[in-house]
Amino acid sequence: MKILVTGGAGYIGSHTVVELQNEGYDVVVIDNLSNSCEKSIERVEKITGKKVPFYKCDILDREKLSEIMDKENFDACIHFAGLKAVGESVQKPWEYYENNIAGTLTLVDVMRKHNVKNIIFSSSATIYGDPAFIPITEECPKGVCTNPYGWTKSMLEQVLTDIQKADPEWNVILLRYFNPIGAHKSGTIGENPNGIPNNLMPYITQTAVGKRDHLTIFGNDYDTHDGTGVRDYIHVVDLARGHVKALAKIKEKAGLKIYNLGTGTGYSVLDIVKNFEEATGVKVPYEIGPRRPGDIATCYASAKKAYDELGWKAEYGIKEMCADSWNWQKNNPNGYED
Which listed option, ligand NAD, ligand UDP, none, makes contact with residue 60 (CB within 5 to 8 Å by class)? ligand NAD
Residue 226 · residue 52 · CB < 8 Å: no
- Count residues near ligand UDP (CB under 6 A): 14
CB of 195 to ligand NAD, least distance (A): 13
For the chain, what is the total number of helices (H) and then of strands (E)? 12, 14
**How many residues in the chain?**
338
Q: What's 50's DSSP letter?
A: S
Tell whether residue 101 is a contact of ligand NAD (CB under 6 A). Answer: no
**Residue-by-residue DSSP string for 130-159:** S-SSSSBPTTSPP---SSHHHHHHHHHHHH
Q: Which residues pair with 70 in a beta bridge?
A: none
Binding to ligand UDP by CB under 6 A, coded x per residue (else -) over 200-229, reads x--x-----------xxxx----------x
Which of helix, strand or coil describes residue 12? helix
Tell whether residue 135 is a contact of ligand NAD (CB under 6 A). Answer: no
| Distances 274 to 51, 189, 322, 338 between C-alpha atoms, Å | 40, 24, 10, 29
CB of 239 or CB of 297, closer to ligand NAD: 239
Binding to ligand NAD by CB under 6 A, coded x per residue (else -) over 30-49, reads -xxxxxx-------------
Q: What is the largest CA-CA distance in the chain?
A: 56
CB of 124 to ligand UDP, least distance (A): 8
* Interface ranges with ligand NAD (CB under 6 A): 6-7, 9-13, 31-36, 58-60, 80-84, 99, 103, 122, 124, 177, 180
* Interface ranges with ligand UDP (CB under 6 A): 179, 198-200, 203, 215-218, 229, 231, 269, 292, 295
